[in-house]
Amino acid sequence: MNETIQLIKNHRSVRQFEDKPLTKEQIEAIVTSGQAASTSSFIQAYSIIGVTDQDKKKKLAKLAGDQSFVENNGHFLVFCADLHRHQVIGKMEKQEKELNESIESTEKFMVGLIDAALAAQNAVIAAESMGLGICYVGGIRNNLEGVSKVLNTPSHVIPLFGLAVGYPAKQNSQKPRLPFQHIYHENEYEQNGDQYLSELEEYNDTISKYYEERTAGRRKDTWTEQMGNMLNKKKRMYMKDFVQSKGLNKS
Amino acid sequence: MNETIQLIKNHRSVRQFEDKPLTKEQIEAIVTSGQAASTSSFIQAYSIIGVTDQDKKKKLAKLAGDQSFVENNGHFLVFCADLHRHQVIGKMEKQEKELNESIESTEKFMVGLIDAALAAQNAVIAAESMGLGICYVGGIRNNLEGVSKVLNTPSHVIPLFGLAVGYPAKQNSQKPRLPFQHIYHENEYEQNGDQYLSELEEYNDTISKYYEERTAGRRKDTWTEQMGNMLNKKKRMYMKDFVQSKGLNKS
């Protein structure tokens, strides 16, 4: 196992950072590493907004569900799917109507999400390779109308998630992942019901024991219980309308 | 610049591979590196299908627009957004109806896409750290009905992109990315029209020169021309209906 793979496998989220801002050079290394990722047909359908204004950070922390590490970190980035740029290109190239029809499709919405996420994960590996810690913040999707106002994003731009980066003040432990054979299928998606269920049961044992050890027995829920409890609360059901109101995922 | 960042910045797509399959250990290192990525609320809403069956690879190559490197490589992976697993959990936890409402939302569709892409980019960095080359294959989205049949994916699973991996037989050059200040905004999305346009013009020069040098003058299109030509062809407009027919992005 080489050093890069060791680094990748050693990942854990960091939610408590030292009060020490990143340097301009560090930010540049992180962002340009993001830019080096593959992009669908060279479209580069994403933008990154770095937030240093403390008032904006406070507002974002509140919108994301009062998460203090959104406010207190070395730097806070927001990754956005961005087709606004291509709308401007439509005007430049005098093909506004034709391009808008493409831009507003579900296919291009998917491209923007995938492009942004590939760039983000490159940025994460770069940050961690410099000894920094990170935490993704999906919580900004609790209220994208509010987040869009704070960041002044135009139409055809959807803020997808935040990324808190900084010097770790506290390391979390690593949660065991689904069994390899449950994530990885050979040649066909495995749909043998019994095997599928027994893999989930096996994983439930792993997770239950993990929580039990970490909490001295106070918690021992299984993964499927945890997923059931999370998914039975309908969350962010405004998303479809919001995304469409911004001109994406429409047709 | 440390070695990991050098590796990330040295990325280029590889579309021609030696005829040498990856070992089981290499595949395991790549997939488990993918699994180490962050996942939204621990949901792990993705699956990876590794394709070794040569007949299936041939079919996928054809569906992806006759791309030979889909057939000829060291290994071929397909990354899927996967909420099927959580539908099964709904049955296990006797909350089928409640969970389905969550699973079919645009929010959870986004989560599946982002989760899959974060895992994929970790897999890519792991592969490249072992001296392998990769190419993402969005072309599988040309015909997802066909791809789903080849891979036997159930409902609530969307194959998103392929990933060809292998020993590079030929290295491509690196295409210059958008200017840093055009991708990266500080505190707010920069909407100064003149500056925005001049950054695009500057980038057009860069790309035009890049093509001119590489093709001995035969090609010198700009980036915005290239984007205009690509986006004025409406592509994969079946996507919205397809994704909904699989039970995702519905509400």
ipTM summary value: 0.98
Angle between helices B84-92 and A193-214 (to 10 degrees): 80
Looking at chain B from residue 48 to 87, which residues have their Cβ under 8 Å from any Cβ of chain A?
48-53, 56, 80, 85-86
Q: Among residues of chain B, what percentage have pLDDT more than 90?
A: 97
**A115 neighbors A48 (Cβ within 8 angstroms):** no
The Cα angle at residue A147 between residues A145 and A148, in degrees rounded to 5: 65
List helix spans (H) across chain B. 3-9, 24-35, 54-63, 68-71, 84-92, 96-103, 106-129, 144-151, 180-183, 193-214, 223-231, 239-245
Q: Is A23 exposed, middle or buried (0-12, 13-18, 19+ CB in 10 A)?
A: exposed
Looking at chain A from residue 147 to 186, which residues have their Cβ under 8 Å from any Cβ of chain B?
151-154, 157, 160-161, 175, 177-178, 180, 182-186
Superfamily of domain A3-172: NADH Oxidase (3.40.109.10)
**Rounded to whole angstroms, how far apart are CA atoms B196 and B182?**
7
Question: Do B183 and A47 make contact, defined as CB atoms within 8 angstroms?
Answer: yes
Picking from B40, B88, B135, the nearest residue to A196 by CB comes out as: B88
Kind of pairing, strands A133-137 and A75-82? Answer: unpaired
From the CA of B32, how many Å to the nearest CA of chain A? 7
Over residues A49-96, the pLDDT tens digits come to 999 999 999 999 999 999 999 999 999 999 999 999 999 999 999 999
Domain ranges of chain B: 3-172+234-245, 180-220
Find the mean pLDDT for residues B230-236.
95
Find the mean pLDDT for residues A183-210.
94
Query: Mapping DSSP to helix (H, G, I), strand (E, B) and coil, where does residue B164 land?
Result: strand
Q: What is the CATH number of domain B3-172+234-245?
A: 3.40.109.10
Find the mean pLDDT for residues A146-170.
98
Q: Among residues of chain A, what percentage have pLDDT more than 90?
A: 97
> What DSSP string runs through B178-205?
SPHHHHEEESS----HHHHHHHHHHHHH
Residue B172: the pLDDT is 87
Give the DSSP H or E segment for A159: strand A157-166
Sort out which chain A residues have CB atoms less than 8 A from B223's CB and list them. Answer: 42
Picking from A5, A191, A232, the nearest residue to B154 by CB comes out as: A191
